[in-house]
Chains A and B, each alone.
Chain A
Amino acid sequence: MTDTLLFTNIDEPGLNTIDVYLARGGYEQLGRALKMEREDLITELSGSGLRGRGGAGFPMGRKASFIPKGDMQKYVVCNADESEPGTFKDRELIQKNPHQLIEGLIIAAYAIDATINYIYIRGEYDQQADILDAAIAEARERGFLGEKILGSDFSVQLELSRGAGAYICGEETGLLDSLEGKRGNPRLKPPFPANEGLFNGPTLINNVETLSAIPSIIKLGAEGYAAIGVKDSSGTKLVSISGNVERPGNYEIELGTSSRELIYDLAGGPVDGRAIKCWFPGGSSTPVLTADDLDIGYDYDSIAAAGSMLGSGAIIVVDETQSVVELAYKLAKFYSHESCGKCTPCREGTAWTFHMVERIKEGTATPMDLDIMAAVQEQIIGHCLCVLGDAMAMPIGSLIAKFRDEFEAEIETNRNERERKLAEEFAAAEVEIEGISA
């Protein structure tokens, strides 16, 4: 396994302050990048093969190359909304090494000539936002932000913008609307943000981890970076492992590492030697995999080949003692709560699914409801304005497909349980109807 890139010195005390960061070679890559031609810089980013770490995995350099040239106002927006259940990697990066992110962001801004830039951080990350705010102020003070930075003729501003609790604001266009002071509803695409994004200007939107990787790319060179990992999945990736494991946390791995190694060797696997029932490979939005899939490599293509997605790189491990109905319940509750409500299939489909799972739990569902539930997921997928709806429909669809027996068994158990309770209540109640007493 290669050395760390993103997590280098991560636990060093004071790394979040500019002096320590500078002492560790911080902002050197920015200096180098500013001496490059913009075109060459974008070629370098493309050549690294870095794919977006926010969920969609779109090649970062290619996205930067879509930004039109010209003297309109352009923007880089860093997506630090990190709300995908199971994901907490950006948090650690922001909290412990904010300057790495700022440096990467300024390089990206220079590459596309964006002079006004924002980091949109979820409102719940209060402490992290304060740290980031302080780091931005330091960078401004030391001349890494502001007019004509480092003697170049590039002037750049960066502001932090705090969200206020809405998962959909992680979706890039929902984020833009939120940043513009609107309800965080996703926008119709096209136009894509690269052409018409923030305040209608061309906008490059990247995840915290994506931007944080940029200084390493400049340092190692495109080839050096691309040499890490496997084909079409280059570089290192932070993996947030949580759920039923001994050592939950963030791990920086080379893409392509076996999933079993991640879950068992790094995170320690489930407690008490329990078996794994299923695992989400890339956050709660991705179809679940089972214990049979543990030996696939943890990279974009291999996970896709197994029928799921690497997503944000968040592995949630579910052990054999857990109920799939409970999982479906949490999923449906989350996505129906977080649906923005703009488009019909997502708004209605997530809520309907939630009510159906609720009925399974209450004991009022029948196996036919399972068919309806599966059909509703099909009715959502591919019909929505953004992919939040799909983000519920795919994992729930996969749970029903893979654990149908367990659903049916639970439907049966809960029905029986409910009937038993009703009978008891009836017996306990002093019901007297015309001489008949219970």
Chain B
Amino acid sequence: MADAQRHVARFTNDSRIPGWDRAADLTKEPAVVPDAATTEVPAELRAAIEDAVRRFPVGDSAFIPALYAVQEQYGWCSPEGIEQAASVLARTPAALTAVATFYDMFRMEPLGRKTVYVCTNISCSLCGADELLEALEAELGEAPDVHIRGFECLGACDIAPMASVNGIYVGPIGLDQVPELARQIVAGDDPLPAKQLIKRPCADPKVAEK
């Protein structure tokens, strides 16, 4: 109980940041490069990382692809997965987490695999993105295996307000379309097929004239 009390944040505005109570567990061994002889790595994960290594003159360039591969394998960048990747890359697991936590697209805790990013940056919010996020979050509620979050500008301000559903950009999304979209996300269906950016013609009239 005393512990629980200590963990109550004293301030509201983010004065505590992730890792604020991260102490070392002194019973653990130091996290050196995991020895290949004693680290088992799933074959697909190893293959994905080794393929990435081949594409760069310096192996460390494969860090980001390796982290994607770990995320694909486990649904998030689990410590176990990071250790396995570190063993294949012959680097310390810390080197990999340092990189993973720098980027927004790596999940450092187990979250839903169905990923929904709603852009809440300037252009989208001028067109109602905050309301869209709120509505979508409410609609999805506690839907299993769904991870929804607001995101910085996704580079699709022409379809504001928009969302990226597992990498597929859709927009502009009207509030009336939220229930349908939510249903599609949960079911794993193609999201709002008519509103997918990939199908959108160029806005420039000169292009259409031809």
Do any beta carbons of A and B sit within 8 angstroms of each other in the complex? Answer: yes
CA distance in complex: A9, B164 (Å): 27
Q: Would you call B198 and A165 a contact (CB within 8 A)?
A: no
Which B residues are in CB contact (< 8 Å) with A124? 105, 117, 151, 154-155, 164, 167
Q: Would you call B157 and A242 a contact (CB within 8 A)?
A: yes
Q: Would you call A4 and B152 a contact (CB within 8 A)?
A: no
What range describes how many residues of B lie at the interface? 35 or more
Q: Would you call A10 and B207 a contact (CB within 8 A)?
A: yes
CA distance in complex: A143, B125 (Å): 45
CA distance in complex: A284, B122 (Å): 8
Q: Would you call A179 and B61 a contact (CB within 8 A)?
A: yes
The reply on A347 being an interface residue by CB < 8 A is no
Closest B residue to A87 by beta carbon equals B155
Q: Would you call B58 and A330 a contact (CB within 8 A)?
A: no
The reply on A127 being an interface residue by CB < 8 A is yes
Stretch of B23-31, B62-70, B135-143, B176-184 that contacts chain A: B62-70
Stretch of B1-9, B33-41, B95-103 that contacts chain A: B95-103
The reply on B202 being an interface residue by CB < 8 A is yes
Knowing A86-B157, A183-B98, the reply to whether A163 touches B60 (Cβ < 8 A) is no
Closest B residue to A169 by beta carbon equals B103
Q: Would you call B105 and A316 a contact (CB within 8 A)?
A: no
Q: Would you call B202 and A10 a contact (CB within 8 A)?
A: yes
Partner pick for A243 among B60, B117, B156, B157, CB 8 A cutoff: B157
The reply on B48 being an interface residue by CB < 8 A is no
Stretch of A47-55, A223-231, A245-253 that contacts chain B: A245-253
The reply on A266 being an interface residue by CB < 8 A is yes
What range describes how many residues of A lie at the interface? 35 or more
Stretch of A58-66, A77-85, A401-409, A417-425 that contacts chain B: A77-85
Which B residues are in CB contact (< 8 Å) with A338? 152
The reply on B175 being an interface residue by CB < 8 A is no
Stretch of A88-96, A383-391, A426-434 that contacts chain B: A88-96
Closest A residue to B61 by beta carbon equals A181
Q: Would you call B202 and A322 a contact (CB within 8 A)?
A: no
Binary per-residue interface labels of chain A (324-344) against chain B in the complex, 1 for a CB within 8 Å, 0 otherwise:
001100110010011010000
Closest B residue to A9 by beta carbon equals B210
Binary per-residue interface labels of chain A (308-328) against chain B in the complex, 1 for a CB within 8 Å, 0 otherwise:
000000101011001000110
Kindly name the residue among B105, B121, B123, B159 whose own CB sees the greatest number of chain A CB atoms within 10 A: B123
Q: Would you call A127 and B168 a contact (CB within 8 A)?
A: yes
The reply on A19 being an interface residue by CB < 8 A is no
The reply on B160 being an interface residue by CB < 8 A is yes
Q: Would you call B158 and A165 a contact (CB within 8 A)?
A: no
The reply on A182 being an interface residue by CB < 8 A is yes
Closest B residue to A200 by beta carbon equals B58
Knowing A126-B167, A180-B60, the reply to whether A7 touches B204 (Cβ < 8 A) is yes
Can you list 6 A-B contacts with CB-CB less than 8 angstroms, sorted by A residue number?
A: A10-B202, A10-B207, A83-B155, A126-B164, A242-B123, A327-B122
Across the A-B interface, the 4 shortest Cβ-Cβ residue pairs = A249-B203, A165-B104, A126-B167, A242-B157
Residues of B bordering A, CB below 8 Å: 13, 55-65, 67-68, 98-99, 102-106, 117, 120-123, 125-127, 151-160, 164, 167-169, 198, 201-208, 210
Residues of A bordering B, CB below 8 Å: 1, 3-4, 7, 9-11, 73, 82-88, 90-92, 95-96, 116, 122-127, 159, 161-167, 178-184, 199, 240, 242-244, 247-252, 266-267, 280, 284, 314, 316, 318-319, 322, 326-327, 330-331, 334, 337-338, 340, 355, 358
